[in-house]
């Protein structure tokens, strides 16, 4: 920056004012924001493809053994799954509110909504914990380890492999989301964000919506087979 006195040609690089959040290699705050957002969208694409492998496995085994999937699905508790769906949908709403208040520069409500989202994610995990432990209690394990007396069919293990792998990986995403949102909430409390700069809020909210959407697919596909 120094040493180029005649720097003020055409485009904006004569940093008259240089906001603290603007990293040196970006020309403007908009560029930085757009880059972060595009990066997050691309990351979400990779997430969808990660899950797509599992969805394909699901489709293959369901087409081959529809009756097994139907019977095995009955062992899942649709009420708990439904509850979790509502919980996650609500959390998507609260995180959207967080972005909204970030844009308005309303720090108090921003922080509130972020913590609310983290709390709802916690509720989701607690419900999942009860679901899992109930399954383990009945020796409902994935694949070759499946040993539940109440339902013995060939390939029923595959259903539960898919169930545990998909919901397990989804659950990991929820945990990661809780971590990220907590970090953002702490930053928000310190007053880092303003209506000019709220990129981390926006992109973590995008991530959180994806976690939510994936569950929206998992729930009917696993719990509601008739």
Partner 1 sequence: MATQTIAAQKTAQSEINYLNHARGLKSWLLTLDHKRIGILYLISVVFFFIVGGILALLIRAELFEPGQTLMTADTYNHIFTLHGAIMIFLFLIPAVPAVLGNFALPIMIGAKDVAFPRLNLASWYIFWLGALTMLVGIVTSGLDTGWTFYTPYSTMTSSGVTWVVLGIFILGFSSILTGLNFIVTVHKMRAPGLTWSRLPLFVWGLYATSIVQILATPVLGITLLLLALERILKIGIFDPALGGDPILFQHFFWFYSHPAVYIMILPAFGVISELIGTFSRKGIFGYKFVALSSVAIAFLGFLVWGHHMFVSGQSATAATVFSLLTFLIGVPTGVKVLNWVASLYRGSIWLRTPLLYALAFLFVFPIGGFTGIALGTLGLDVPLHDTYFVVAHFHYVMVSGGLLAFLGGLHYWWPKMFGRLYNEKLAQIAALLIFVGFNVTFFPQFILGTQGMPRRYFDYVPEFTTLHQLSTVGSWILGLGLLLVAVCLLHSLFKGQLAPANPWGAGTLEWTHTGRLPSPHNFERTPVVTRGPYDYHLAEEIFGNGHGDGGGTPAVIPAQGQAQS
| Dihedral sign of CA atoms 126, 127, 130, 135 in order | negative
Whole-number minimum distance, CB 183 to partner 1, in Å?
A: 15
5 binds partner 1 (CB under 8 A): no
- # binding residues, partner 1 (CB under 8 A): 46
> 36, 81, 5: which is closest to 203 by C-alpha?
36
Check: CB of residue 102 under 8 Å from CB of residue 110. yes
Spatial distance between the Cα atoms of 174 and 186, rounded to a whole number of angstroms: 18
What is the end-to-end Cα distance of the chain in Å, rounded? 66
Whole-number minimum distance, CB 107 to partner 1, in Å?
A: 26
Whole-number minimum distance, CB 104 to partner 1, in Å?
A: 26
- Residue labelled with tokens 């696993």: 222
Classify each residue of 96-115 as buried b or exposed e, where b means 16 or more C-beta atoms within 10 Å of its C-beta: ebbbebbbeeebeebbbbbb
Tell which one of 77, 125, 143, 217 touches partner 1 (CB under 8 A).
Answer: 143
Tell which one of 16, 20, 25, 226 touches partner 1 (CB under 8 A).
Answer: 25
Check: CB of residue 153 under 8 Å from CB of residue 64. no
Whole-number minimum distance, CB 172 to partner 1, in Å?
A: 11
4 binds partner 1 (CB under 8 A): yes
Q: Residue 191 corresponds to which tokens in the numbers above?
A: 């007053």
Pick the stretch among 9-17, 93-101, 172-180, 203-211 that binds partner 1 (CB under 8 A).
9-17
Whole-number minimum distance, CB 51 to partner 1, in Å?
A: 8
Q: Which residues contact 109 (CB under 8 A, 6 or more apart)?
A: 97, 98, 101
Spatial distance between the Cα atoms of 223 and 129, rounded to a whole number of angstroms: 16
Segment 154-173, which members bind partner 1 (CB under 8 A)?
A: 154-155, 157-158, 161-162, 164-165
x/- binding map, residues 53-92, to partner 1, per CB under 8 A? Answer: xx-xx--xx-------------------------------
Nearest CB to partner 1, comparing residues 154 and 191: 154
Contact residues for partner 1 (CB under 8 A)?
A: 1, 3-4, 7, 9-11, 13, 23-27, 31, 34-35, 38-39, 42-43, 45-47, 49-54, 56-57, 60-61, 141-145, 154-155, 157-158, 161-162, 164-165
């Amino acid at each position: 920056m120094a040493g180029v006195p005649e720097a003020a040609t055409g485009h904006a690089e004569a940093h008259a004012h240089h906001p603290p959040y603007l990293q040196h290699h970006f020309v403007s705050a908009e560029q930085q924001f757009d880059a972060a957002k595009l990066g997050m969208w691309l990351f979400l694409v990779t997430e969808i493809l990660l899950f797509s492998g599992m969805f394909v496995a699901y489709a293959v085994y369901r087409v081959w053994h529809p009756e097994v999937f139907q019977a095995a699905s009955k062992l899942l508790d649709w009420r708990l799954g439904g509850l979790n769906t509502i919980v996650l949908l609500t959390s998507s709403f609260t995180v959207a509110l967080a972005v909204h208040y970030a844009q308005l520069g309303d720090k108090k409500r921003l922080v509130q909504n972020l913590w609310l989202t983290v709390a709802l994610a916690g509720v989701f995990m607690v419900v999942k914990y009860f679901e899992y432990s109930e399954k383990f209690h009945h020796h409902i394990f994935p694949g070759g380890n499946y040993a539940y007396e109440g339902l013995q069919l060939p390939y029923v293990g595959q259903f539960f492999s898919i169930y545990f792998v998909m919901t397990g990986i989804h659950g990991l995403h929820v945990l990661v989301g809780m971590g990220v949102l907590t970090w953002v909430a702490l930053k928000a409390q310190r007053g880092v964000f303003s209506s000019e700069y709220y990129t981390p809020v926006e992109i973590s909210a995008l991530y959180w919506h994806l976690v939510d959407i994936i569950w929206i697919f998992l729930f009917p596909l696993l719990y509601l087979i008739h």
